[in-house]
Chain A
């Protein structure tokens, strides 16, 4: 994480105001989930499951059944379905999840389709117990359509030329790079004088298209690490020295893993007295692309 610069930005004491505006709610006391589109291949699901909901399920199913059950996300492809009733999906896909994570990035099986996500228990005999159902979300196709409008025909060769001219190779290289540069400038505008950078290049923007030689083969991949767990209620948990807030004894963090990085994430729990420690070490390595 970059060191925050705008702490110097509040010219007058910010502390008082920060105290006046206490923190925001951790939860809203309602079992529900929402599904958002991220890009043609990814969805973001977040949820809240209340203790009352879990109690209600426990009252209907035996402890044996629930203990043996897996908690899952069931992702339904509901493309073209007017009203989804839980049974009429085109197809569904199950993936394991822990409810305590409270949010999850889901890799969609296909682009350009509509999805609904359920959270629930999958029992050992294959029954699904619904806990929360999301809204419906449509993902973009992420490609040139195969459908050709016969009232608006064009010679295929000309269309390919037009595509190239239209910048099909640049798709996704949006204004954000530009905005990053501007962001840097905003930041600098606010920088205190000590340590004026000397090596800023005045124009460091790269809006390059993929290299010619690589056009027949390309690969894009990114990585985020999710660490989650639980500890005794009064324990102080830290990850890599940074104290993590426990919510009902549980925690989860998510971290981007850039190319060429090694991260060490020792997780430590300490009791209130400070005389007992439990530790789990996690290491991750991501090599540079070749």
Chain B
């Protein structure tokens, strides 16, 4: 086989905010997690299993954020997910009978087969711990799992570096406990990079992170290779890999983007609305309100009203995904071929996407990835899939460039997380960060109930710092929930803080919060001490 002309790094960012409500038997926003499990995470693992079984080598980089890992390991959520999945198996089984001899027979069968397969993978192969699956492929060297800020905290808007330090250290510790080694890379939440924060990455042995294109393009000095090679941050030598917009566009643009193909599955026509109420009611939430249940029998069809959509044909849709995968690969080949005439080394194209877009949002995106992996492996030799770690091994010498502050949000900076609709939160987030630091400095050796209270104080701070809340306030979706979550954590934080300061800690209150906001069981509040931050920064003075 001829030698490759360049490299493609596919990066999927898998994240959901920590949502767990043991205080309710049934909670709507928890569905985000169950839907993503059955539509994205398990289907991805299924692809990895298939590829491995048939001997197709592949490389993929995935961030599995600490909140997601915590949810994936939470006994209550696991139990609830098993129920969720079991219900889908049951319903799709009934649907095979109901649709027999109709034009929906094939799609009903598809759901049944998929749900059964995912149930088998989840319960029998991974023993209800989906992280086992991801770890397996990382250990095989095919998947590079990277971490993320502890609660997807938005680093450039954190004034106190103690908070930045804690977001990194807590994430890395969580990663180690789950994957048995240290993470080599990190996905900075929202790709939000603030110059100098790489010092905290370096201190944990993190070798690379990702930025939006202009994070590197606007770096100083000018990046010789544009975004087609990583750069090293000054002083720390942590590598920044920038996002390629051409391949992002290829998938998502309105005119030429793949997911809008009329033969793909229509998201908005869902059985939760279509089926007879008494028949579907057992599969709805306990309030009995009709909502999407994740089974859809129609294709996009075209620009027609929902009631004129045509039946979905799973076989046809898979064929389209194969064509799109071929088109994507062809375009990368052309891109890399052209780039290689401009660069004096093999170009690297970094394609970054939200993982949940594949499967949950673009249903056939999973098939697309499977075909893409196969085609790249069997059908050509121009491009080779690579992980950032492998690239850095091949090219250990890179230009030193100070990347620019940037994010992958709308307008490229912080507007999405800081605007008139959500700017009120920073008064509280920054005050809580300051108070956390004050407590950590005041009580370096706490034990017993005080220690538990301080650890819970840290959890409340971390949870209020999730960038998801500010994001949801801006998009206007789940605004009430995200506002309530922010306020709840602020309130809980300040109540705990007053209890600690007043030396009147209420054990029952602490216990209640430990159950609800149970993220990071192994947390140590000392990570917020100024001494911990200074220890990092003094290395660079």
Of B218, B244, B260, B481, chain A has the most CB atoms within 10 Å of the CB of B218
Q: Are B23 and A189 in contact (CB under 8 A)?
A: no
Q: Are A174 and B212 in contact (CB under 8 A)?
A: yes
Residue of A7, A139, A189, A207 touching B292 (CB-CB under 8 A): A189
Of A39, A138, A224, chain B has the most CB atoms within 10 Å of the CB of A39
Q: Is B515 an interface residue (CB 8 A)?
A: no
Q: Is B408 an interface residue (CB 8 A)?
A: yes
Binds B, one of A20-28, A90-98, A233-241, A265-273: A20-28
Q: Which of B312-338 contact A (CB under 8 A)?
A: 335, 338
Q: Are B28 and A190 in contact (CB under 8 A)?
A: yes
In the complex formed, the residue of B with least CB distance to A4 is B480
User: A137-148 interface mask toward B, CB cutoff 8 Å, 1 = contact, 0 = none?
Assistant: 011111111111
Q: Are B428 and A152 in contact (CB under 8 A)?
A: no
Q: Are B253 and A165 in contact (CB under 8 A)?
A: no
Q: Are A144 and B222 in contact (CB under 8 A)?
A: yes
Q: Are A166 and B217 in contact (CB under 8 A)?
A: yes
Residue of B27, B245, B254 touching A167 (CB-CB under 8 A): B245
Q: Are A167 and B431 in contact (CB under 8 A)?
A: no
Q: Are B411 and A166 in contact (CB under 8 A)?
A: no
Tell me the minimal C-beta distance from B245 to chain A in angstroms: 3
Q: Are A207 and B494 in contact (CB under 8 A)?
A: no
Q: Are A167 and B246 in contact (CB under 8 A)?
A: yes
Q: Is A276 an interface residue (CB 8 A)?
A: no
Question: Chain B contacts of A143 at CB under 8 A?
Answer: 218
Q: Is B300 an interface residue (CB 8 A)?
A: yes
Q: Is A277 an interface residue (CB 8 A)?
A: no
Question: Chain B contacts of A187 at CB under 8 A?
Answer: 477-478
Residue of A12, A46, A141, A168 touching B26 (CB-CB under 8 A): A12
Q: Is A120 an interface residue (CB 8 A)?
A: no
A178 to B217, CA, bound (A): 22
Q: Is B289 an interface residue (CB 8 A)?
A: yes
Q: Which of B2-46 contact A (CB under 8 A)?
A: 23-29, 31-32, 35
Q: Are B471 and A179 in contact (CB under 8 A)?
A: yes
Q: Which of A161-185 contact B (CB under 8 A)?
A: 161-163, 165-168, 170-185
Q: Which of B444-488 contact A (CB under 8 A)?
A: 471-472, 475-481, 484, 487-488
Q: Are B25 and A12 in contact (CB under 8 A)?
A: yes
User: B240-265 interface mask toward A, CB cutoff 8 Å, 1 = contact, 0 = none?
Assistant: 00101110110011100101100000
Tell me the minimal C-beta distance from B160 to chain A in angstroms: 9
Q: Is B523 an interface residue (CB 8 A)?
A: no
In the complex formed, the residue of B with least CB distance to A189 is B292
A152 to B400, CA, bound (A): 9
Residue of A170, A185, A204 touching B249 (CB-CB under 8 A): A170
Question: Chain B contacts of A7 at CB under 8 A?
Answer: 480
Question: Chain B contacts of A173 at CB under 8 A?
Answer: 245, 410, 412
A149 to B99, CA, bound (A): 67
A28 to B498, CA, bound (A): 12
In the complex formed, the residue of A with least CB distance to B214 is A171
Residue of A11, A141, A146 touching B286 (CB-CB under 8 A): A11
Q: Are A203 and B423 in contact (CB under 8 A)?
A: no
Binds B, one of A70-78, A193-201, A279-287: A193-201
Q: Is B163 an interface residue (CB 8 A)?
A: no
Q: Are B213 and A171 in contact (CB under 8 A)?
A: yes
Q: Are B249 and A207 in contact (CB under 8 A)?
A: yes
Tell me the minimal C-beta distance from A140 to chain B in angstroms: 4
User: B59-103 interface mask toward A, CB cutoff 8 Å, 1 = contact, 0 = none?
Assistant: 000000000000000000000000000000000000000000000
A103 to B292, CA, bound (A): 41
Tell me the minimal C-beta distance from A258 to chain B in angstroms: 12
In the complex formed, the residue of A with least CB distance to B28 is A9
Q: Is A153 an interface residue (CB 8 A)?
A: yes
Tell me the minimal C-beta distance from B537 to chain A in angstroms: 14
User: A214-246 interface mask toward B, CB cutoff 8 Å, 1 = contact, 0 = none?
Assistant: 000000000010000000000000000000000
Residue of A147, A162, A202, A255 touching B342 (CB-CB under 8 A): A162
Q: Are A162 and B226 in contact (CB under 8 A)?
A: yes
Question: Chain A contacts of B472 at CB under 8 A?
Answer: 183
Q: Are B477 and A198 in contact (CB under 8 A)?
A: no
Q: Are B339 and A165 in contact (CB under 8 A)?
A: yes
Q: Is A66 an interface residue (CB 8 A)?
A: no
Q: Is B305 an interface residue (CB 8 A)?
A: yes
Question: Chain B contacts of A152 at CB under 8 A?
Answer: 221, 224, 399
A174 to B191, CA, bound (A): 10
Q: Are B24 and A12 in contact (CB under 8 A)?
A: yes
In the complex formed, the residue of A with least CB distance to B266 is A202
Q: Which of B297-317 contact A (CB under 8 A)?
A: 300, 303, 305-307
Q: Are B226 and A200 in contact (CB under 8 A)?
A: no
Question: Chain B contacts of A126 at CB under 8 A?
Answer: none
Residue of A34, A44, A142, A175 touching B218 (CB-CB under 8 A): A142
Question: Chain A contacts of B157 at CB under 8 A?
Answer: 36-37
Question: Chain A contacts of B478 at CB under 8 A?
Answer: 5-6, 9, 183, 186-187, 190
A171 to B404, CA, bound (A): 13
In the complex formed, the residue of B with least CB distance to A157 is B342
Q: Are A255 and B420 in contact (CB under 8 A)?
A: yes
Q: Which of A15-69 contact B (CB under 8 A)?
A: 17-18, 21-25, 28, 34, 36-40, 44, 46, 48
Question: Chain A contacts of B26 at CB under 8 A?
Answer: 11-12
Q: Are B260 and A202 in contact (CB under 8 A)?
A: yes
A164 to B358, CA, bound (A): 28
Q: Is A213 an interface residue (CB 8 A)?
A: no
Q: Which of B229-285 contact A (CB under 8 A)?
A: 242, 244-246, 248-249, 252-254, 257, 259-260, 266-268, 272-273, 285
Contacts A9-B29, A11-B285, A34-B426 supplied; 4 other A-B pairs, CB < 8 Å: A8-B289, A17-B23, A162-B225, A172-B410
Residues of A within 8 A of B (CB): 1-2, 4-12, 17-18, 21-25, 28, 34, 36-40, 44, 46, 48, 103, 135, 138-149, 151-154, 158-159, 161-163, 165-168, 170-193, 196-208, 224, 254-256
* Sample (16) of A-B pairs whose CB atoms are under 8 Å apart: A6-B478, A10-B27, A21-B488, A46-B426, A162-B226, A166-B245, A167-B213, A170-B249, A171-B212, A174-B409, A182-B356, A185-B267, A199-B305, A200-B268, A203-B259, A255-B420
